[in-house]
Amino acid sequence: MTAVPRDATDATDPAEVMDAGAGADTGAGPGRPAVPLSRNRDYNVLWTSQLLSELALEIAAVAVPLLILARHGSPVQLGLASAALAAAHMIAVVPAGVLADRWDRRRLMLGCQLLRVLGMASLAGALLLGRYAFWHMLLVVVADGFLGSVFDPAEHAALPQVVPSAQLSTAVARNAARPYVATLVGPAVAGFLFAALPSGPFLANAAMFVLSSVALCFLRLPRGRTGERAERRPADREAADREGVAGDVPGTGAGFAAGFRWVLGQPVIRTTMAWMLVTNLVFGALLIVLLALSGEDRVGPGELGLTMACFGVGGLLGGLFAARLHTAVRPPVILLGFAWTAVAATAVMALVPAGLPQGGLLAVLAFLAPLANTTVLTHQLTVTPDALRGRMSGVAGFCSGGAGVLGPALGGALTGLAGGGVTAVLLCAGCLLMVALAATLSPTLRRFPAPAGADLPT
């Protein structure tokens, strides 16, 4: 496997060289250095659009339960809304990656945001007019989850089109910090707006999707590298054909299956996806176990909120430093170091008091997570042909979505079987120990390739 896609190195005319490595506004070209990311307009449009989407998601995650409880909803309704959202994410993954590879990515993202505006505005209007209905709210939640899952692969696949390959790891690192910004800001905004006006969070979400749509109107992506099948560059078709996957497999299901087969045929991508799937599964369980342990030790709501905020702060700081550390540390050291740090930190969580001490350990793990994600995602985006990037992102989303659904259920099961939070934490540490041992024994992770052109210490 080469360190960079063949379609980038095989381009011969200047327009194709720019197209392979960057978007229209990167400033890259023969004899010209790329502009800094802070001045790359198209990258900033993508980053801002996704930030608004993630912020809206965090606001809705708090506002929807508040709305159900305020309208005298039952725990069954809460569970149904949560399950419906998770199901929408999982179902959307199948067509999302295929659509991102076959359709114009800018138009796809814009269409998703405009439809999300309509959904959130309809729910806010129903609340203002006193016409709230649970089925309406559930429909909006499901539609928003589906559209958000379609938006994400298109945004991920568009990133290498607007960022030169030399800056890709820095862009991925900055993107890794973005969800933690939303995690820190979104819940507080949702609580404040809902207290002032129940329709407030949904009006705010509609406004954010409007702003995201306006920004996307000014996004410029290179022509011939997205779903316009008649205009797709020969280099992209050849890259997909060399990997044994036709770029235009008929049928959504067949297209997703073809992308899945391609991922399974790539040893590095296959191994890292499996590693991240299991790691995210255990971390999802760990968070539920820690919440249960906080309840056992009667940690106050204020301290519990600060404990969870530690996770967001650690991730935000980690995202800010991820790009610098990614260029200074060898990839195998990053991945294996994260795996073993997770084991040690989780084991110590069983020994320290619940609340802020555990929050500090969560912050350590959250600090290292963006660095590990940057290492893995940069490699995935670099080696995947543009004709398959949407489907690769869709497969990754399917795996992470599965971990997000099963992780909390696993945490609840471990807490119940262990008969206490401390024992359940130790069980999580044991699971992470097996993951770390498997990662250390894996030749793929021990020899994880460095980015092309990287000058890393030996």
Q: Note the helical H segments in 163-199.
A: 168-196
- Report how far residue 408's alpha carbon sits from residue 281's, in angstroms, rounded to the nearest whole number: 8
- Report how far residue 348's alpha carbon sits from residue 354's, in angstroms, rounded to the nearest whole number: 11
Mean pLDDT value of segment 200-218: 95
Mean pLDDT value of segment 273-287: 90
Give first-to-last CA distance, the chain, whole Å.
21
Q: For position 19, what pLDDT does the model report?
A: 39
Q: Which residue has the higher pLDDT, 296 or 195?
A: 195
Whether 393 is covered by a domain: the verdict is yes
- Has residue 16 got a pLDDT over 90? no
Mean pLDDT value of segment 359-364: 92
- Has residue 401 got a pLDDT over 90? no
Average pLDDT score, the chain: 81
Q: Categorize the per-residue pLDDT at 30 as very low, low, confident or very high, splitting at 50, 70 and 90.
A: very low
Are residues 315 and 435 both part of a single domain? yes
Task: Single out the residue of 182, 418, 422 nearest to residue 311, CA to CA.
Answer: 182
280, 326, 362, 370 from 85: Cα distances, Å: 19, 34, 26, 25
Query: What is the enclosing helix (H) or strand (E) of 92?
Result: helix 75-102
Structurally, how many domains does the chain consist of? 2
Are residues 172 and 277 both part of a single domain? no
The most confident of the ranges 13-17, 73-77, 271-275, 385-389 is: 271-275
Domain final position from 214, 232, 250: 232
Are residues 284 and 374 both part of a single domain? yes
Are residues 266 and 226 both part of a single domain? no
Are residues 286 and 148 both part of a single domain? no
3-class SS string, 355-386: CHHHHHHHHHHHHHHHHHHHHHHHHHHHHCCH
Q: For position 198, what pLDDT does the model report?
A: 92
pTM of the predicted protein model: 0.75
Per-residue pLDDT tens for 122-141? 999 999 999 999 999 999 99
Are residues 273 and 408 both part of a single domain? yes
Q: Which residue has the higher pLDDT, 110 or 165?
A: 110
Whether 451 is covered by a domain: the verdict is no
Are residues 440 and 348 both part of a single domain? yes
Are residues 272 and 221 both part of a single domain? no
- Report how far residue 84's alpha carbon sits from residue 144's, in angstroms, rounded to the nearest whole number: 11
- Report how far residue 382's alpha carbon sits from residue 354's, in angstroms, rounded to the nearest whole number: 42
- Report how far residue 114's alpha carbon sits from residue 410's, in angstroms, rounded to the nearest whole number: 36
- Has residue 274 got a pLDDT over 50? yes
Measured at the alpha carbon of residue 447, what is the angle toward residues 441 and 448, in degrees to the nearest 5? 110
Q: For position 457, what pLDDT does the model report?
A: 47
Are residues 215 and 330 both part of a single domain? no
Question: Domain with 308 in it: what CATH number?
Answer: 1.20.1250.20
- Has residue 22 got a pLDDT over 80? no
- Report how far residue 48's alpha carbon sits from residue 244's, in angstroms, rounded to the nearest whole number: 35
- Has residue 334 got a pLDDT over 90? yes
Both structure tokens of 332:
């195998």
Q: For position 200, what pLDDT does the model report?
A: 94
Lowest mean pLDDT among 31-35, 309-313, 316-320: 31-35
Mean pLDDT value of segment 159-166: 90
Whether 303 is covered by a domain: the verdict is yes
Do 290 and 421 meet the contact criterion of CB atoms below 8 Å apart? yes
Beta-carbon contacts of residue 454 (< 8 Å; ≥ 6 apart): 327
Mean pLDDT value of segment 167-175: 88
Are residues 143 and 28 both part of a single domain? yes
Q: Which residue has the higher pLDDT, 248 or 145?
A: 145
Mean pLDDT value of segment 344-361: 92
Are residues 43 and 168 both part of a single domain? yes
Per-residue pLDDT tens for 415-447? 888 776 788 899 999 999 999 999 999 999 999
Q: Categorize the per-residue pLDDT at 253 as very low, low, confident or very high, splitting at 50, 70 and 90.
A: low
112, 149, 150, 184 from 115: Cα distances, Å: 5, 13, 12, 26
Q: For position 140, what pLDDT does the model report?
A: 94
Do 248 and 229 meet the contact criterion of CB atoms below 8 Å apart? yes
Domain that holds residue 352: 262-446
